[in-house]
Amino acid sequence: MAKPAKRSRDAYHVGNLAPQLLAAARTLLEEVGPTKLSLRAVSERVGVSATAAYHHFQNRNELISHLAAQGFAELAAALQRAYSSGSGLDKVRGGSLAYLHFARSNPALYQLMFGPEFTDETLIPALQRERLAAFGELKRMVAETLGQALDSSDVRKASVAAWSYIHGLTSLVIHGLLPGAAGNSDEHFVDRTLEGFAALAISCSPPIK
């Protein structure tokens, strides 16, 4: 007689349960959003008991914090790949496209990363570290574009401006608040807005005497 198939509850190994739980949490996040994401629901998706899940994540906040940290790590890697080639405005364009593409590909994860779920009191070290790493990649992009030291005043100010720009644009796009958000490409939004900034900068420049 054929041997019955092993159930998923018996198939997992304690050494790789945490990654499985995170993978299931990420899938559920995109399916149902953060409010319905719980350790119990994730455990059921993987096929293990909630008790087994609690051995790896103490509570829901720890689970979604590690999920957000994973998102920031991926965003940092995408930014690093994007600006490693090109120069000047090409670096800014490449980094902006990578940022927007990441968010469009992972809308629920992106909103969780920047959402109200995390406070100073609940912020775990892993999430804080990956947040800083992602911002660090953006700062490096700005520093290389300006040709200045990473810790210079101009780089710090320009980095905040750059993050404000691309985060604002991304939020408007993924929430469908820009005309044609569903039908236009990432290149369309980045190129049009960068052209707008260039035009604004020229109009605000003092006249040459």
For residue range 29-54, what is the model confidence (pLDDT) as tens digits? 999 988 889 999 999 999 999 899 98
* Shared-domain flag, residues 108 and 53: no
In a shared domain, residues 124 and 36: no
CA distance 91 to 93: 5
State the average pLDDT for the chain.
Answer: 87
For residue 209, tell me if it sits in a domain: no
Q: How many independent structural domains does the chain possess?
A: 2
Residues 131, 134, 140, CA angle at the centre, nearest 5°? 140
Which structural domain, as residue segments, surrounds residue 186?
A: 64-204
* 60 sits in which H/E element: helix 60-83
First and final C-alpha spacing in the chain: 94
In a domain, 21, yes or no: yes
- Do residue 51 and residue 70 come from a single domain? no
**Domain assignment present for 3:** no
- CA 179/CA 194 separation, integer angstroms: 17
pLDDT in tens, 130-142: 999 999 999 999 9
Residue 47 or residue 120, greater confidence: 47
Distance from C-alpha of 64 to C-alpha of 47, rounded to nearest angstrom: 19
Query: Do residues 165 and 99 share a domain?
Result: yes
Task: Tell me the mean pLDDT in the region 12-18.
Answer: 68
Please indicate, yes or no, whether residues 136 and 194 belong to a single structural domain of this protein. yes
Q: How many CB atoms lie within 10 A of CB 19?
A: 11
